[in-house]
Amino acid sequence: MLDDLAAYNKKRWEELAQAGVPYSLPNLGLTPESAMAAVNSTGILGPSLEGKDVLCLASGGGQQSAIFGLLGANVTVLDLCETQLERDREAARYYGLEIRTVQGDMRDLSCFPKDSFDIVWHAHALNFVPDAPQVFREVARVIRRGGIYRLKCWGPHSHGASEVEWTGKGYVVSQPYRDGPVDWADEHWDVKGPDGVDRRVLGPHEFRHTLTTLINGMCDCGFRILRVAELSDGAEPGATPEPGTWEHFGTVLPQWLVFWARWEPSDGMPTREAR
């Protein structure tokens, strides 16, 4: 049974997906080569994903699941949003893949036995729950020793700032730097659907997680961080985007953090059952 937060965010994501938010559009133009480049440009996942058990965590929409499926992995998708999961099934039908879809909350992975997955691919979703270490503990339970956890989330230094708050000299960063809810001046998302129609849709509740929380939370659960990247949206290399746009905002405050980590708990750590 979903708690109030999950029920609220589920409703918001159903509306966003039905409006055609980009996260909900299946990737129907993949080749095995482009799929491998999309998820394994670092080479951390190894030379082949054939037969690997992959969990796309809170990553519905028919994008990552299709990529891993085309590379021969055994793919499971868990997401709150039924419309998002239907997009995964749509992509699977398009490519002739078998993909398992599970509706659920990333904070509770009890539907999966421990040691179920070689790879947990966590797209931008962690910031929709308040307690990041709770999710890390769940991932630690279902991932196998030596398995790879890839996490993308808002960079905590830019989360809560907005491209519309351009002063002529810089962007306003005014919210307290701490774990907790992000208070947007406007919680609506502007969505241009595949039909070209612009829609304003109320967004889900969001939460900031500081670097201290993210890094220590993963380490405390037995993850060894292999690589970190800061990513910006929108601006092409060499471009000079206009101030006050999302693309320019990303050149000043990169929007995203990406962590690659391996689950390698030490013998002295608490067992997963004790967490």
Examine the pLDDT at 273 and tell me if it is beyond 70.
no
CA pair distance 93, 102, nearest whole angstrom: 17
d(CA 82, CA 194): 19
Mean pLDDT of 198-207: 95
Spatial separation of the C-alpha atoms in residues 246 and 250, rounded to whole Å: 6
Q: What are phi and psi of 235, to 5 degrees?
A: -75, 125
Instruction: Report which of 148, 153, 109, 163 is spatially closest to residue 272, judged by C-alpha positions.
Output: 109
pLDDT for 271 beyond 60: no
Find, among 139, 128, 123, the residue nearest to 23 by Cα. Answer: 123
Which tokens in the block code for residue 44?
């951390």
* Cβ(14)–Cβ(83) below 8 Å: yes
Residue 218, classed as helix, strand or coil, is helix
**pLDDT at res. 185:** 83
Answer yes or no: is pLDDT of 186 > 90.
no
Q: Give the domain ranges of the chain.
A: 4-274
CATH number of 4-274: 3.40.50.150
Q: Report the distance separating Cα 178 and Cα 119, nearest Å.
A: 30
What does pLDDT average to over the chain?
A: 94
Q: Give the phi and the psi of residue 227 in degrees, each rounded to 5.
A: -160, 145
Per-residue pLDDT tens for 167-177? Answer: 999 999 999 99
Phi, psi of 274 (to 5 degrees): -85, -10
Position 146: which residue type? G
Task: Please give the C-alpha separations between residue 192 and each of 1, 2, 33, 198, 260, in angstroms, as whole numbers.
Answer: 32, 29, 29, 4, 31
Query: What are the φ and ψ backbone dihedral angles of 20, each rounded to 5 degrees?
Result: 95, 30
Coil/strand/helix, residue 103: strand
* pLDDT band per the 50, 70, 90 thresholds, residue 274: very low
Question: What pLDDT does residue 266 have?
Answer: 85
Element (H, E) at 274: none
pLDDT, one tens digit per residue, over 206-234 is 999 999 999 999 999 999 999 999 999 87
Name the residue among 110, 149, 138 with its Cα closest to residue 275. 138
**Beta strand residue intervals within 104-237, DSSP E:** 117-122, 143-154, 180-181, 188-192, 198-202, 207-208, 223-231
Q: Is the pLDDT higher at 274 or at 248?
A: 248
Q: CA angle, 30 as apex, 191 and 103 as ends, to 5°? A: 60
pLDDT at 235: 67
- Strands 198-202, 188-192: pairing kind: antiparallel
Question: At 275, is the pLDDT very low, low, confident or very high (cuts 50, 70, 90)?
Answer: very low
